[in-house]
Structure 1
Amino acid sequence: MKQFFTVLGGMGTLATESYCRLLDERTPTHRDQDYLDYMVLNHATVPDRTEWILDHSKPDYNPLLIEDIQQITPLQPEFFVLICNTAHYAFNRLQAATSIPILNMLQETVNEIKNIAPNAKRVGVLATRGTIASGLYDSYIQNAGYEEVKPTPEILDATEDLIYHDIKEAGHSDGKKFHELVRTMIEDQKCDVVILGCTELSYANEMNPETEFPVADSQSVIVDRSLERALAIRNQNNNN
């Protein structure tokens, strides 16, 4: 297979399935051959990213992702997509393991805010404790000229309950919980837009779409960037 890309997934699996589903739904098709060529590596046994970020005595997930990247690189994918916000904690370390570009979900998500909420000033972030505690989105948001609003301890607890208990453990999304989290960030914390900074939250948004308040859905954004890049590569090759 040539002119394909690789999805680094399994963190978690439902979120990876959501990425693939959205990608296929958004691909313009009239026949089987119109779909994109891509490889999905669903590495579900990668250790929890948040646990390691908060406590480096826990198993480090990075060596496994680096091994995955180095195993796939000789196959020469056009690019990698990393389907986990928190795993971007050591993004530069992962990118250093290959000459093939890895799309940066965090950068692309912040870039998209200008299209979602052109007049936004205060940008809220809903994410795992690891993402929030490490300030993973901080520099991206600040460099784009926005004021970052992090969740209160109560909002963070409720967010992790949805991510870990409902989605990762029970395998379902509670739409009421999800919409209340977004509403609280917009109305109570006075955010202009809310970043869904965890792919489980993106899964929740797919299952029960947020239609009342503006959200920057990290997974939805990276689906669009993946699609644009893959179609551009295909068109370039077809024209050569």
Structure 2
Amino acid sequence: MKMKHFFTVLGGMGTLATESYVRLLDQRTPTHADQDYYDYIVVNHATVPDRTSWILDHRKEDPRPALLEDIRQQSLLKPDFFVLICNTAHYFYDELQAATSIPILNMIEETVKEIKHVTPQAKRVGLLATPGTIQSGLYDGYLTKAGYEIVKPTPELLAATESLIYDDIKQAGHSDGAKYHRLVQAMIEEQGADVVILGCTELSYAEEMDPETEFPVVDSQSTIIDRTIELAKRQKLGQD
């Protein structure tokens, strides 16, 4: 029996974050039997060049050819939709979407929409993310359009965030819970944010590993997991 309805996860950026996505996706899926889980394909393309490196310096290796090839290959299988598990890769969202007629869930857009559900009265929204996401202003237009004031990390907080993402999670393969919690606390207490967006899936991984923060956060990966389930459920119910 072939899969009538399925989606494709474009991951590997990085692998631990992709594993976190899949783990939480399956945990949140209501199931009573194997057949209750959703059909999906995970492309763990770990060798996609670093997105931040190219955004900050176009002399570095360009990640777009690898991402576009993944889109083209997977489009031949005709998934119902794509999920792109990397905030920074959404820098190329319009170009990737233009390469296929199959919809790609927009993690940035959905995360900003989620703010009103987490902290309805929020006015100042903090952002923790990679230097590529921060400096490119990837979230800025969405937040401004939604009426929020953007609170970006200081150079010191950005450096600490980069260290957690790259040194601890991507390179060492584990999270530093104390470092993660200090970052969120600083954005709320020192920078005056009402809520903090976790705008990198490695930060989402940190939140899963050490979910003790007492401060309000909008987790981009958690948000896109919920949207994945909502869309996959509708597709599954519409099976022939």
TM-score, normalisation: structure 2: 0.98
Q: In the aligned structure 1, how far is the partner of 2:214 from the partner of 2:37?
A: 32
Work out which of the residue numbers 100, 107, 114 in structure 2 matches 1:105. Answer: 107
Q: CA deviation at 1:72?
A: 0.7
Deviations along 1:95-148, one digit per CA (max 9) or x if unpaired, are: 000000000000000000000000000000000000001001000100100000
Residue 90 of structure 2 is aligned to residue 88 of structure 1? yes
Partner SS, residue 75 of structure 1: coil
How much is the aligned-residue C-alpha RMSD, in angstroms?
A: 0.7
Mapping for residues 52-201 of structure 1, pairs under 5 Å: 52-201=54-203
Q: In the aligned structure 2, how far is the partner of 1:180 from the partner of 1:81?
A: 30
Q: Which portions of structure 1, spanning 4 or more consecutive aligned residues, are displaced by more than 6 angstroms?
A: none
- Equivalences, count: 238
Unmatched runs of 5 consecutive residues or more in structure 2 = none
Q: Answer yes or no: is the 8 Å Cα contact 2:181–2:213 preserved in 1.
A: no
Q: In the aligned structure 1, how far is the partner of 2:38 from the partner of 2:159?
A: 38
Unmatched runs of 5 consecutive residues or more in structure 1 = none
Specify the code of the residue in structure 1 equivalent to 2:79. P
Specify the code of the residue in structure 2 equivalent to 1:30. H
Q: Answer yes or no: is the 8 Å Cα contact 2:7–2:39 preserved in 1.
A: yes
Q: In the aligned structure 1, how far is the partner of 2:61 from the partner of 2:175?
A: 28
Residue of structure 2 in register with 1:43 after alignment: 45
Q: CA deviation at 1:74?
A: 1.3
Q: In the aligned structure 1, how far is the partner of 2:195 from the partner of 2:238?
A: 35
